[in-house]
Structure 1
Amino acid sequence: MPDLAAVVEFWTGAPRPSTHEIRLIAARSILATKQTLRETLPAGLTQDPAVEILLSLFTAGASGSMRIEAACAATTVAPSVAARWVRALEQHGLVQISEGADGQWIALSEQGRARTTKTIDAILAQQADILG
């Protein structure tokens, strides 16, 4: 991964964070950008539920998991559509679903965490190149 301090300092003005903190900042930034796009563009043009679910799980904290209802609510599509995306993510091996006493939980699988991390790193590298 390239030195991303310039990107982080540019966007946050914060001192050099750890690599994990950089990734979390990037994931939150992507989610915030998607929210801004939803607020400024016509409805339905910015829907990307699979990415929203993956990034929400990535930023979910130490557990890296959340109730399926919360993951679906992190998207801008109907719950039934979000649930289909959850199943698709599971079929691709990117998430794992488990049953708890309080309902179904979803978490990034090892492959899902690796692929999401790789995606975030690629976006950060692209931004570092742009800021040059």
Structure 2
Amino acid sequence: MSVPATVNPQVIDVINQVQSATMSPQVVLTSGAGKAYQSVAQSAAIAVQDATDTLRNLSTIATTAAGVAIAQFIATGEPKYAAALEQAKGLLKTASEDFSDIGTAASNVLKNFPSG
């Protein structure tokens, strides 16, 4: 039979210290909380990016509608085109308010989420 090899006690000590430093309940808890915080932060950022895209798209639609309404109002003088211009303006105002609300909500969620 072969004689079992002995392991240097310093090697065993290093392994125990590394295990303690990386696998202790507090380290695991803090690491998990940090990952959860990063996930929530990324979700909040995506929500703001989506709101930005929506604002940009609605701005394009409102600007186009306003341009058509102005051209038709100048050409015909009919007040319905002035009303359409006001609706386009209202659309942009509402979209801006929605963007602000989403940004504020995302910020509040992130501020109130425990970071670990």
Structure number with greater CO (CA < 8 Å, separation at least 6) is: 2
Which structure: larger Rg?
2
**Normalising by structure 2, what TM-score?**
0.30
